[in-house]
Amino acid sequence: MSLQEKQMRLVYNQKIGTRLGWGFGIAVALTFLLGIIAVVEMNMMANITSEMYKHPFAIKNALGDITTGVVNMHSHMKDIALNGNAERLEARVSEISRHEQHVLDSFKVLSEQFLGDKRDIETAQNAFLDWRPIRQEIIELTRNGKYLEASLLITSGDNHADRINELMLPVREFAGMKANQFFSDAQNSKRHHLFIMSGLVVLISGICLVRGFYISRSLTNPIKYIIREIGKVADGNLDHKINLKSNDEVGHLAQAFDDMTEKLKTTTASRDDLDAANQHLQAHEQQLRATNQQLDAGNQQLRAIEQQLKSSNQQLMAKEQQLLSLNHNLNERVKELNGLYGLSKVIETPNITLPEIFQSLAELLPPSWRYPEITCGCVIFDDNEFKTDNFKETQWLQSADIKVCGEKRGAIEVYYLRECPLIDEGPFLKEERDLINSLAERLSRVIERKQAEEEKGEITAEMERMNRLMTGREMRVIEMKKEVNSLLAELGRQPEYKSVLEDAETVISSDKTG
C-alpha cells in the first residue's frame, strides 16, 4: 500500500464533521500564526525607526547647536573687546552666559545618546571649559578699561574656538556614518520582511489548498463509488456487495446497503417483500441525501475558510502598506538631516561670504523637501534674492523670517510648482515647518557673526587712519620747530627747541610700532 493510500485510508476512518473541523482549525491556526509574525515584523521595523530618531537626528542637532553657540560666544567676545559701553558690555556678558549654558546642555545630550567613543566628546567639552578663564579675563580687562590687552587675548579665544570645532569633527563624521547605517538597515529589513511575509502567504495558501483537496476527495470519492455500486444492484444483481471499509457516515451507509441487499436475497419475491425492500431502499436514499446535505455544509465551511484566507491576504496587504509608509517617513527624516548637515558644511567653509552662503542654502532647499522634483527655493536678505534655477512664485508657499539682532532682515521661502495633497500645513509637513525654522534661526546667527567681524575690520581701519593723521600732524609741528630754531640761529640767538631730533625719532618710532 502506497503512502498516499495510507493517508487516504486514515482520512476515511474519520467522521465527516471531524475532517471539516480539522480543516477549519488548521486554517484558523495558520491565519493566527501569520498575524503574530506580521506583528513581530512590524515591531522590528518600528524599533529601527525609533533608533534612527533617537541617535542620528538628536546628535546632528546637538552638534549644530554646539557649533553655533561657540561661534556666537566668540563673536560676542570680540564685540566686548571693541566696545567700551558698560550697558552693552553687561548685555553681551549675559548673552555669552546663555550661549555657554546652551552649549553645555548640548554636550550633555551628546554624552547620553552618542554611540561611539565618548572620549572625543569629553576632550571637546574640556577644551570648551578651558576657554572660560580666558573669557573671564577678557571681560575683567574690558570692565577696567584695558581694551588693548583684552583685544590681544581674543587671539587665544580664536584658537580655542577652532580647536573645539576640530575636536567635534570625529563625532560629526561618526553620526553621519551611523545615520547611513540605520538607513541601510531599514532598507534591508524592509526587503527581508516582504520576503518572509510573501513566503508565508504562499505557504499557508498551499497548505489550505492541499488540505481542502484531501477533504474534498475523502468526501466525494466514496459517494461516487457508492452510486456506481448501487447502480449494479439496481440492475438486479443482488449478490453484488459494495464492501466499502470506512468508519465514517458514508461507510455506515454502504454497510447498511449491503445488509439490505443480503436481506432482499434471502426473502421471498413476494410483492409485499419487494415493497418493504423498496421502502428500506428509500430510507437509505434519504440517508444518502442527508449525507449529501452534510457535504454541502462542508463545502460551505470550505468557502468560509476561503473567505478567511482572502481577509488574511487583505490584512497582509495593509501591513505591507504600513511598512512602505514607515520607510517613506524614514526617507523624509534623512532628507531633513542632509539639509541641516549641508548648511553646517557650507558655514564651515573658510572665507565664505554671506551671498555665497545664501545661494548655497537656496540650492539645498529642494532636496530637503518631500517633492524635490517640483520644489524651488529662495533666500531674501536686504532686498537681495538668491534663487534656484527653476524658481517661480506660486500659491503653495512655506516661509520663515530671517531676524538679525531681533530685526527682520529677510526670509527663506520654499514653493511647490504645482498642487500637492493637503497634509499638515497645506501641502507641507509639520516636520518641514520645524526644518525651515531651524534653517532660518541658524542663518540668522551666521549673519550676526559675519556682521560682527565686518564691524571689527572697519574699526581697525579707522584707528589706523587716525594714527597716520596724528603722526603727520606731529611731524609738521617738528618741522615748524626746526624752522624756528633756524631763524633764531640766523639772529645769533640760542635754539629754543633743543629736543627736536629726539621728538622726531620718537614720533617715527611710535608710527612704526603702530
Does some domain include residue 318? yes
With contact defined as beta carbons under 8 Å apart, do 44 and 57 qualify? no
Does some domain include residue 128? no
CA 140 to chain CA centroid, nearest Å: 47
Which residue has 573669557 as its cell numbers? 135
Does some domain include residue 31? no
Pairing of strands 384-387, 397-404: unpaired
Does some domain include residue 228? yes
DSSP-assigned states of every residue in 138-156: HHHHHHTT-HHHHHHHHHH
Range of the domain at 487: 459-513
Q: For residue 268, what pLDDT is reported?
A: 47
- Of 272, 300, 326, the position where a domain reaches its end is 326
C-alpha distances in Å from residue 267, one per residue of 106, 174, 239, 248, 362: 105, 99, 13, 29, 107
Does some domain include residue 489? yes
Does some domain include residue 153? no
Q: How far does the chain reach from its first CA to its final CA, in angstroms?
A: 115
Sheet holding 384-387, edge to edge: 384-387, 375-381, 407-416, 397-404
Distance CA 163, CA 174 (A): 18
How many beta carbons lie within 10 A of that of residue 81, not counting itself?
23
Helix and strand element counts for the chain (H, E): 11, 4
With contact defined as beta carbons under 8 Å apart, do 76 and 456 qualify? no
Q: Which residues contact 230 (CB under 8 A, 6 or more apart)?
A: 242, 257
Distance CA 23, CA 214 (A): 10
Does some domain include residue 506? yes
Q: What is the DSSP letter of 428?
A: B
- Residue 144 in grid coordinates: 577696567
pTM above 0.85, yes or no: no
User: pLDDT truncated to tens, each residue of the chain (514 aa)?
Assistant: 555 555 555 555 666 667 677 776 887 787 878 788 877 767 776 666 666 555 667 787 888 888 888 888 878 887 777 765 666 778 888 888 898 899 899 888 888 887 777 888 888 888 888 888 888 888 888 888 787 787 777 776 667 777 887 887 887 777 778 777 767 777 787 777 778 878 878 888 888 788 777 777 766 777 777 787 777 777 777 677 776 666 677 777 777 777 777 776 676 455 556 677 678 878 888 888 888 888 888 788 888 888 888 887 788 787 777 766 665 666 666 666 777 778 888 888 888 888 999 999 999 999 999 899 999 999 999 889 999 999 999 999 999 999 988 899 999 999 999 999 998 899 999 888 999 999 999 889 888 888 787 777 666 666 676 667 667 666 777 777 777 778 877 878 777 766 655 655 665 565 555 5
- The SS3 of residue 403 is strand
- Number of separate domains in the chain: 2
Does some domain include residue 166? no
- Of 303, 326, 349, the position where a domain reaches its end is 326
- Of 274, 301, 326, the position where a domain reaches its end is 326
- Residue 253 in grid coordinates: 451507509
Radius of gyration of the chain (CA): 46
The one-letter amino acid at 280: H
Distance CA 514, CA 397 (A): 55
Q: For residue 116, what pLDDT is reported?
A: 77
Q: What is the DSSP letter of 239?
A: T
Distance CA 398, CA 414 (A): 5
Let me know if 476 is exposed, middle or buried by CB neighbors in 10 A (0-12, 13-18, 19+): exposed
E strands, 254-363, in order: none
